[in-house]
Amino acid sequence: MAAAAGAWLRGCAKLRRHIPAHLAPWRVSPCAFRSSKSELKPNVASDGLACAPLQTFTEEEAMLKDMVTKFAQERVAPFVQKMDENAKMEESIVQGLFEQGLMSIELGEEYGGTGASFFSIILAVEELAKVDPAVALVCELQNTLTNKLFTTYGTEEQKRTYLPRVSKDTLGSFCLSEAGSGSDAFSLKTRAEKKGDYYIINGSKMWISLAEDAGVFFVMANTDPSLGYRGITCFVVDRNTEGLQVGKKEDKLGIRACSTCPVTLDNVKVPESSILGQVGQGYKYAIGMLNTGRIGIAAQMLGLAQGCFDRTVPYTKERVQFGKSVFDFQGMQHQIAQVATQLEAARLLTYNAARLAEAGRPAIKEASMAKYFTAEVATLTTSKCIEWMGGVGFTKNFPIEKYYRDCKIGTIYEGTSNIQLSTIAKFLAQEY
């Protein structure tokens, strides 16, 4: 018996020697528990900083949040149904966004901005999206793309020329996508040919947000196709430039009040000074802006889902069936609790990505996670809310079906959900 036991133990020992180290029982892999790794926190005594819950706001952020909530309820809500039906943004709302400083939240006061935090942009977008995601998109794109492109890459002359305009009354529009380059954005065909001190731009763009009303366009064009994506350059083109034509806006499923149009560039002549940043660096600028913009879209999807949820739950408490409110059925309570938990998780992902970006720390993976997850949560929330509302949720008499239509774009623009997953996976591969 003892001999047999000894042989069995020797066999186990041999087997263990052939097991890969990272699969060895109870052995901690050097790559394991990366999520548990911590970084040194700022010295509280010297920096005056302390770790606080993600939903802790500065006084300025709290004031802005309250102001936007009031603006959305008083100035936006009365027009939401009409704007959706007519697929047209109410001019007074855009004017109000400018007047309230919501189109230049992070811009310095020297350019007409409010000089607030990046996180304030996220709060503003979230609050606007609770009432109308289309209005939230106008605010989000102006702050995270238009303003940020000028402040990050613009020359002093470009900043002096354009920043006072985009903080006061001028919308910007980012022209990247084309018929043959969606997710594969850098395969774009728009060409910019150098002619002395000028460039001649030819090409066409598709799915360009805010194009119908924009006063300035950021056009991505290739100055040297032989270099591939390394030839892509960003040009600042004014709307009244000869040869730039905005086509008929798309008749969309959702976000209908915010225009999406094709843009054609036919021998558009622009001076060399219209180049934003450096020649051949446009692809880097696009990547950088979209990474930040994804946090803004996450805030839009979060606000959309929360707004839909907030309008639906009270109805379930008022609607009586079988002698008690719909909310009082345990099956309903469990569904509502599940969605509420998903919403809270989406909010924390979004706020964390925003705080990281604001602090200047890497946040590409976190931004992709936030955008991917909030789009999924918005899809779940709006679908469940229609079910909880029953027949009335399926009608246009209530805004629930609009939230359902509006949320779909969250899985598509500024990087599809699959692109987000690929980005996340790339970072995970590097980490492990």
Residues recognised as catalytic: 414
DSSP one-letter string for 167-200: HHT--EEEE--BTTBSSSGGG---EEEEETTEEE
Burial of 264 (0-12, 13-18, 19+ CB in 10 A): middle
Kindly state the greatest CA–CA separation across the chain. Answer: 96
Contact 90, 83 (CB under 8 A): yes
Nearest to 96 by CA among 78, 120, 123: 78
Nearest to 219 by CA among 234, 206, 204: 234
CA distances from 277 to 158, 164, 233, 283 (A): 10, 19, 8, 11
Contact 75, 93 (CB under 8 A): yes
Helix axes of 282-318 and 400-407: crossing angle, nearest 10 degrees: 160
Distance CA(382)–CA(405), nearest Å, equals 9
Helix, strand, coil percent content, the chain, rounded in steps of 5:
60, 15, 30
Which residues lie closer than 8 Å to 60 by C-beta, 6 or more apart? 116, 117, 120
Contact 186, 225 (CB under 8 A): no
| Host H or E run for residue 384 | helix 364-389
In one letter, which amino acid is 367?
A
Distance CA(203)–CA(189), nearest Å, equals 7
Contact 138, 146 (CB under 8 A): no
Distance CA(385)–CA(398), nearest Å, equals 11
